[in-house]
Amino acid sequence: MNAQPAVLQSLLGRARRQLASRLLAEPLEHMRSIPFRDAGHGYDVFGYEPLHAALALAALEPVYRHWFRVRSYGVEHVPARGPALLAGNHSGTLPFDGMMVWTDIVLRRRRLPRMVADHFVSGMPFVSTLYARGGVVGGTAGNLRVLLDAGELLMIFPEGVPGISKPFRERYQLKEFRVGHAELAIRQRTPVIPVGIVGAEEQMPQLARVPVHAFGVPYLPLPLTPVPLPVRYHLHYGEPLHLHEGLRPEDADDPQVVQRAAERVRRAVQALVDKGLRLRKGVFR
């Protein structure tokens, strides 16, 4: 067997990693300072890997600082360690809101928020791999339970796809919240930190949704602008909600209890969004 091409590929791969480690020295050092559960080969069981996360940080930090000029308030409400759920409003045609929250918490809190993606994301070539390397996980109860048991921080958008795809005229009006996060928070006795994201609604008004379902995507968005507008993001973190207080883990099976808990989270997020809208001086300021 001629193994030369494989050896060459391996050497090239190693050289590429070394070059990336050197070029990304600062973000890599930052990501390495955030602990993760290495499953043995530098990846965790979900595919997270610090070097790729450093690459994501290097790409997103300029967008965070100079394009969206993110301002965040109340980040101290995000616990420094231990399991927690962040629940925010979802909007903006493409998920820059999630990326900005990820960057904000990585930079300001030195924690890795595990963004929870819809099921279709894991079926998308390239996107699924890039997301997994950055710590994104598929939104199944089993995955989330494993992560919370391991004391990780999860970021969920309980509105799901209806949130990110709502028309411009409905901006900042939260869609109905799914209840899975509330059930999980009660069962796992985990605090929920509401996050109000202001700015994302105006970044990329959606003109239409093309009914293309390749790789399981629900639609193909047709935005007004090819790149997001340089709106200013305001991220408001609320005080932790302890949905499990006064409840037993088995109460998570009661649909009414869970519905009420999810509604409580929705109201908290809506209040933060309203506050953010009141405080901001303009879409771009």
Partner 1 sequence: MSARSGWRAPRGVLVLGASTPLGGELCRTLLKDRSLGAVLAVGREPREQVRLPEDARLTYQRVDITHARPVHDMLFGAARDLGVDVVVHLALHRANDFGAPVHVQNVESLRWLLSLSDRHPTLRRLVFRSHAEVYRVERGLPSVITEDHPLELSPDAPQWVRDRVEADLLACAQMGMAAGLEIAVLRCAELLAPDEGSQLHDYLSAPVCLRSAGFDPMLNVLTLEDATEALRLAVYAGGTQGTFNIPGADTLPLSACIRLSGRLDVPVPGPLLAPIYEARRRLRGAQFSYRINRGRFHLAAVLDGTSARRELGYEPRHRVDWPSTRR
Contact 175, 166 (CB under 8 A): yes
Chosen residue from 83, 95, 138, 228 binding partner 1 by CB under 8 A: 138
- Residue 27 vs residues 72, 152, 158, 233: alpha-carbon distances, Å: 20, 21, 30, 22
Give the H or E element holding residue 234: strand 234-237
Closest CA to 237 of 130, 101, 127: 101
Chosen residue from 28, 30, 31, 47 binding partner 1 by CB under 8 A: 47
15 part of the interface to partner 1, by CB under 8 A: no
222 part of the interface to partner 1, by CB under 8 A: no
Q: What is the C-alpha separation between 232 and 65, in angstroms, rounded? A: 10
125 part of the interface to partner 1, by CB under 8 A: yes
* Count of residues in contact with partner 1, rule CB under 8 A: 35
**Between 129 and 225, CB nearer to partner 1:** 129
CA angle (33 as vertex; 29, 36 as ends), nearest 5:
120
Chosen residue from 1, 62, 211, 245 binding partner 1 by CB under 8 A: 1
17 part of the interface to partner 1, by CB under 8 A: no
Measured in degrees and rounded to the nearest 5, phi and psi for residue 98 equal -65, -40
Q: Which residue do the tokens 């340089």 mark?
A: 230
Residues 24-43 interacting with partner 1 (rule: CB under 8 A): 39-41, 43
45 part of the interface to partner 1, by CB under 8 A: yes
Interface ranges with partner 1 (CB under 8 A)? 1-3, 5-7, 9-10, 13, 39-41, 43, 45-47, 119-120, 122-129, 132, 137-138, 140-143, 146, 216
